[in-house]
Chains A and B, each alone.
Chain A
Amino acid sequence: EAGVAQSPRYKIIEKRQSVAFWCNPISGHATLYWYQQILGQGPKLLIQFQNNGVVDDSQLPKDRFSAERLKGVDSTLKIQPAKLEDSAVYLCASSRAGGREEKLFFGSGTQLSVL
């Protein structure tokens, strides 16, 4: 079974620029998550999709972050404009149906450096 795919692997931008990350979940997984992991901390949920609908985006900084999951498969996360504090690893995860006791499968993440 192929895992969660993310690209790019690394990205370096200057503050105020925009950036986009891409995620392809495990085939058949209805639930997709974007997490932000700042160095030295645990991942923090940004947004959760169930198919192509948003279940939870309460911790997404909506003034600069946006995410979409068209057709309920791939997803993109965008930051515009980026700030220095956005430097982090952005992890995508998926699960079969999003139930409370389902395993989440994580991708390797995109490491973003904002200079």
Chain B
Amino acid sequence: GESVGLHLPTLSVQEGDNSIINCAYSNSASDYFIWYKQESGKGPQFIIDIRSNMDKRQGQRVTVLLNKTVKHLSLQIAATQPGDSAVYFCAENRDAGGTSYGKLTFGQGTILTVHP
């Protein structure tokens, strides 16, 4: 079935380094993607999104890159801080049966650990 998944389940970095978290998707019709951060004991929190008509979008310390040719997106975190330690999910929001409503499908997640 169609799914959104991640290449690496865990990533450990040193404070100050840049982090790159990858995600592969299988639905070539997907046109909107979101990255979420989930800290222990909390619900997912929106980080950044990107539409399929874009290749790159930047936020505060975060950048999302989208490669539609290979159906791959990545989240880059600059100057990673201990507070960035969390599970990161990519999610695909696709049209739910022709309505205007979205249907969010999450990938498995990557655990990011930042060492001081």
Q: Which A residues are closer than 8 A to B by beta carbons?
A: 4, 31, 33, 40-45, 48, 50, 55-56, 91, 93, 98-109
B44 contact set on A, CB distance < 8 A = 43, 91, 104, 106
Which bracket fits the contact residues of B?
20 to 34
Q: Is the interface of B mostly helix, strand, loop or mixed?
A: strand
A93 touches B43 (CB 8 A): yes
B95 contact set on A, CB distance < 8 A = 100
Total A-B Cβ pairs within 8 A: 70
Considering the complex, which residues of chain B in the window 38-80 have a beta carbon less than 8 Å from any beta carbon of chain A? 41-46, 49, 51
Contact with A42, one of B42, B101, B107 (Cβ below 8 angstroms): B107
B104: Cβ under 8 A from any A Cβ:
yes
Contact with B109, one of A41, A50, A93 (Cβ below 8 angstroms): A41
A100 touches B108 (CB 8 A): no
